[in-house]
Structure 1
Amino acid sequence: MLEKFERRRDRFNLFNSMDSSAVNLCFPLELPDFRPWCKEQGLAPFHVLLCAVLRATLQVENFRYRLLEGEVIRIDRLIPSFTVVNQHNDLNFAMFAWADDLREFVARGVAAREQASRMTQLNASYATLSPREAKEQVFITCIPWLAFTSIQHPSASLAQPDIPSFAWGKFRDGPHGRLEVPFSVQAHHGFVDGFHIHQLAQAIAGEIAGFMQASPGPGGSPSA
């Protein structure tokens, strides 16, 4: 299962020995403009993009590697989670169970957002995860008010930022009728290089295009 990783173990050993092994890139992510499609389908654009990002993460092998008790493992699923703002404008965390069907994924995400946004205390549901389950995440935040050009993600350990962190900002019109989103990726450089971040960006755009092509019309259940 880790054959591909073994080819880059020497790179992993190099970066893992550094004080900070993180690679962090911010770039304008170009996507098909799926906002009109989301409106037609009655789907929240954030949650559609969340689904596309998580599906793309599983497509790119290097984003599946994690460190557990000093050993490299490969995850096979993801537990969706993201940050929300509560009624006091404080950050909270939302988490929900994966669904392969896009419409069901969005419905679960919206329900998790509403639940977390009503809470005044920090949602500590992530603390109930086992150490192995905790690795089945990527950390996701959205800053829809700002077209940021850089971001520093918090990390529990500077030396081992093995769980990737993604952020995106304000949607804006891009060239040739496309959508442009400021997007940030932070990952362990022993696992992920700039090329893999490029692959992730391409996969996200492909997932969005696939949703739109598979659309059965309002009220249907696109699951491609």
Structure 2
Amino acid sequence: MKNFELRRDRYDVFRQFANPLVNISLTLEVPDFRPFCKRRQLPPFHFFLYCVLSAIETIDNFMYRIHENEVIRIDDFIGSYTVINGDSNLNFARFTRSPDLLEFIARSVRAGREATASRALINTSADLTPRQIRDNVFITCMPWFDMRAIEHPVFCHRDSDIPSLAWGKFSAPAGEKMTLPFSVQAHHGFVDGFHVHLLAQAIAGRVAEVMAAHART
């Protein structure tokens, strides 16, 4: 928490706001991982989810939460994302992450299938304690369109401390790089625009790192 103490005065300012959230939408550029995934028969969404979540945990600012009116730093977080079920309604997938790429993808795929198959709304965090709920990063993917911006529903803005990430349609293949619309919503007491920039860099670096590591296997 030493890093947080260096910005506690900023947090103290923003926590007084009725809405302390910052929303930033950008065009994210990453190495084109689709050929890599195709050669290895890996689902691109789940590969990218692995890279995004493992990048987040390298930046302290995205790991801070508020619990019982105190700032804490979480050590790990739940794997989760939204799906559309057979009735064309929203549902939530949830799983325990793994540092191993293939195991992560297997768990993520299973969780997605379970959520897609369920007519009832599941994994709403109703079964978690208030402290366990803090171990979340909210993920939404909307692959149907070139998303320009998004504002996530928030029960109480003042208490909203869990980052929400969203992305849209991948660009058409055009060489070694690909782009996608990407959005970050986070508590401004923890996260500035600079930290969103760091996250974008970390995601691109993680994609390249994972592809390079598995190219040798």
Q: What TM-score range do you get, normalising by the shorter chain?
A: over 0.9
Structure 1 segment 46-195 matched on structure 2, within 5 A: 46-124=45-123, 126-173=125-172, 177-195=176-194
Q: Structure 1 residues 64-73 or 128-137, which shifts more?
A: 128-137
Q: How many residues align?
A: 217
Check whether the contact 1:85–1:117 (CA below 8 A) recurs between aligned residues. yes
Partner Cα distance (1:27, 1:174) in 2? 19
TM-score by length of 1: 0.93
In the alignment, structure 1 segments of 5+ residues that lack a partner are none
The one-letter code of the counterpart of 1:23 is V
| Unpaired stretches in structure 2, ≥5 consecutive residues | none
Alignment RMSD, CA only?
Answer: 1.4
CA contact (8 A) 2:31 2:208 kept: yes
Alpha-carbon contact 2:32-2:175 (below 8 Å) kept:
no
CA gap 1:211/1:124 in 2 versus in 1, 3 angstroms: closer
Matched, 1:9 2:5: no
Shift of 1:176: 5.7
Residues 44 and 12 of structure 1, relative CA distance in 2, 3 Å threshold: same
Q: Distance in 1 between matches of 2:190 and 2:174?
A: 32
Change beyond 3 A, Cα 1:118–1:176:
closer
Secondary structure in 2 matching 1:108:
helix
For 2:53, the aligned partner's letter is L
Helix, strand or coil at the partner of 2:198: helix
Shift of 1:57: 0.8
- CA deviation vs aligned residue, 1:162-183 (integer Å, no higher than 9, x gap): 1000000000047763110100
Distance in 1 of aligned mates of 2:56 and 2:91: 23
Q: Which runs of 4+ in 1 moved over 6 A?
A: none
Whether the aligned pair in 1 keeps the contact of 2:93 and 2:123 (CA below 8 Å) is no
Distance 1:144 1:108 in 2: 21
Q: Aligned letter for 2:49?
A: L
In 2, distance between residues paired with 1:79 and 1:39?
A: 27
